Amino acid sequence: MKSVVPFLSLALLPAVAIPAAAIAQEQRSVQEIIVVGVRDTHTIVTDDTLVAPADTAQMLRMMPGANINKNGELTGIAQYRGMYGDRIKVSVDGAQISGAGPNSMDAPLSYAPVALLQSLTINRGIAPVSSGQETIGGYVEAQTYRGEFTNSNDFTFNGRTYLGLQSVNEGTVASGFFSLANRDHIFRGFVMNESANDLDFPGGTILPTEYERERFDLGYGYKKGAHEFSIDVARNNTGDAGTPSLPMDIRSIDSDLYRSRYNWTAGDYSFTAEIFGSDNTHWMSNFHLRRPPQNSTTMTDDAMRFRQTYAVSDNMGFSLKLEQFVANGSWQYGVDGHFTEHDAQITNPNAGPFYIDNFNGTTRDILGVFAERSLSLSDSLGLDAGVRFNRVSADAGNISANLNPMNMMMGMPVMMNNMAAMLANQFNSQDLSHQDNNVDWFARLSIATDNDLTWYAGAARKTRSASYQERYLWIPMEATGGLADGKTYIGTPDLDPEVAHELELGFDWEAGNFNLYPRFFYKEVSDYIQGTPSTNMAANQFSLMMSNMGMGLPDPLQFTNTEANFYGMDIESDFEITDRITLRAIASIVRGERDDINDDLYRVSPDNLILALDYRGNNWMASLESINYADQDRISVTNIEQATDGYSIMNLSALVNITESAELRIGVENMLDEEYLDHLSAYSRAYNPDIPMRSRMPGLGRNFYSRLMWYF
């Protein structure tokens, strides 16, 4: 049988100076699989790279086709090939986490801090149905550092310290991982504290972007023969954290997380059972970090515009998988579920009777089943295929509001309260329960040739049902899962599920010291859920009154089913110039368009290219990197999106092995202090003397950073 391509690849960030070809060769020797395959995942290992920011989602910027919608320093939303948010399945140690924030202030990757992260992996292209429910936009998996069993009956104490500094916001992070383990048992714990001030950019300071976060983990693992079991609990506490692209900032996010896993492997079978869940509580406000509302003529009027939101989410899930290994590949079968409930209420600390039930008892439950096959059709031909069925159920409780806390007899508060009551009655009178029966399938063919080429072709049907925001947002609000376009929205309870049909073509070319991995894709999405001009007269009138009071924009959008398509290409490659010098490149191009009207889709990543030159010395490494983004003038008129100019920045980093168990990494980002606008950071929504209100957010200034890691 011909040499197969590794199923799992290792990708590098700028601080890594290990030649990519050398790593690929090492992987070929230890990670071969039975089925002929292609380089269909891209992995970043934190031990092998340097990440200055606190947000794990920042790593996505260094992956082909991937990027991040950034609404704050801890509020990064994954984007892949133009899709983002709920369209991308994110797993943290096998668990799905549905955050409390209706604007995704606690996006899933925020629950895997960089200081705890071991690796981040993204599926390149079409995700297998076994990777999880609703992978219409892709699949991202974060694995945290959990320690290892030993080969002895005696217990050994081990650990890892992680210390980091950066200058752009005076950010610091300190963490410690500790384990007590032998061949059968491992007890582990983790503690972390990180904080930062507001960010600097070449034109001033970005307000508010400070943050603080603490993390505490405890876990236990047991391994004996064919059995392995683990249970872990965590407390993730975020304190004050700015989100300048959103209408409010974080006061607190307190989350209790748990997960447990059992694996049995014997002979030709492997069985895995997982259960996970979290309880999340979230406070946010428009006055405690940013300047309070100050646009009206009297202090009393200003006080009535203060807002704070209390939001909670409860979610739990499970996964059962059975894998059977056969002579020409494997079968995999599974059942999984994810069950969530969300509540959110808006109040005014200056007017106790004021409230708006943003969401009340909204539930979204998914129960899925799948079967998947991987096989070798011949020595040079491999096939992966699978089918999945998901049952998605949603419901919501009755809502209400009081926008006239002073019991006035006439005036704007009375009119707004009456309009809100009309919208509430409209919402409560509907049948809010909804069920979707969704079918996904995928197939991909790999053909290995005699000239270092492996060709790839894939096709899929993927589905996604509406989020709870898209379905149950009843009054014009910006609680839109982090869209951050400044528009208010209302939902539609009977939205149909999105259905995407996708094609992907590419090849892997591994010719000695040169490797090239291009992918071309096209995705057509029926019933794509998008904001369109609202036809609800009560909602339109309410939004206009809010706008006249200086609280938002008129003409709300309503989540409706439309048509869309995505297409483009992404490439990763490396060239080993000498034994010590490697040139790396990653390029990503994506287009997102509406099919029902002549408009582009909102917040799609500009074309971008990363070039890096790595040098490896005897006990040190260095990397020079160029980050290049093109103009983005393919913008959404519907979302009043602003165009941005292209830019290029340079980064430099180095690593020094101090001892066998300690290393120091240092670097500088944007070392020429280039001034530019970040298209995916949306718009400024907080008062800032250095940034006009509702203008595009700037990119960060020069940032010196360092990281010390010590294993013991």
For 492-547, the DSSP string reads: -TTPPPEEEEEEEEEEEEEETTEEEEEEEEEEEEEEEEEEEE---HHHHHHHHHHH
- Cα–Cα distance measured from residue 519 to residue 156, given in angstroms and rounded to the nearest whole number: 46
What is d(CA 484, CA 592) in angstroms, rounded to the nearest whole number?
Answer: 18
Q: What is the pLDDT of residue 36?
A: 63
pLDDT at 10 over 50: no
Mean pLDDT of the chain: 91
Name, in order, each residue with C-beta under 8 angstroms of 596's C-beta and a sequence gap of 6 or more.
Answer: 562, 563
Query: Whole-angstrom distance between the N-terminal and C-terminal Cα of the chain?
Result: 43
Residue pLDDT, tens place only, 49-100: 656 667 889 899 999 999 999 999 999 999 999 999 999 999 999 999 999 9
**pLDDT single digits (tens) 632-681:** 999 999 999 999 999 999 999 999 999 999 999 999 999 999 999 999 99
Mean pLDDT of 523-547: 95
Q: What is the mean pLDDT of residues 494-498?
A: 98
Against a cut of 0.85, is the pTM above it?
A: yes
What kind of architecture, by CATH, is found in domain 10-189+198-274+285-325+337-418+442-711?
A: Beta Barrel (2.40)
CB 523 within 8 A of CB 502: yes
pLDDT > 50? residue 23: no
Q: How confident is the model at residue 295 (pLDDT cuts 50, 70, 90)?
A: low
The residue to which tokens 């646009």 are assigned:
295
pLDDT in tens, 211-261: 999 999 999 999 999 999 999 999 999 999 999 999 999 999 999 999 999
Rounded CA separation 247/22 (Å): 48
Domain extent listing, the chain: 10-189+198-274+285-325+337-418+442-711
Give me the percent of the chain exceeding a pLDDT of 70: 93
Residue 214 CB partners (closer than 8 Å, separation 6+): 192, 193, 235, 236, 237, 239
Asked whether residue 9 carries a pLDDT value surpassing 60, the answer given is no
Edge-to-edge strands, sheet with 139-144: 10-11, 41-45, 117-123, 139-144, 89-92
Q: Which of 292-301, 392-401, 496-505 has the lowest mean pLDDT?
A: 292-301
CA distance 517 to 69: 25
For residue range 441-486, what is the model confidence (pLDDT) as tens digits?
A: 999 999 999 788 999 999 999 999 999 999 999 999 999 999 999 9
**Lowest-confidence pick of 272-281, 417-426, 492-501, 543-552:** 543-552
Number of H helices, E strands in the chain: 5, 34
Determine contact, residues 179/147, Cβ cutoff 8 Å: yes
pLDDT score of 413: 84
d(CA 697, CA 712): 42
Compare 372 and 48 and report the one with higher pLDDT: 372
pLDDT score recorded for residue 1: 33
Q: How confident is the model at residue 493 (pLDDT cuts 50, 70, 90)?
A: very high
Mean pLDDT over 611-627 rounds to 95
Contact 563, 594 (CB under 8 A): yes
Closest to 337 measured CA to CA, from 298, 367, 357: 367
Structure tokens at 212: 């603080």
Q: How many residues does the chain have?
A: 712
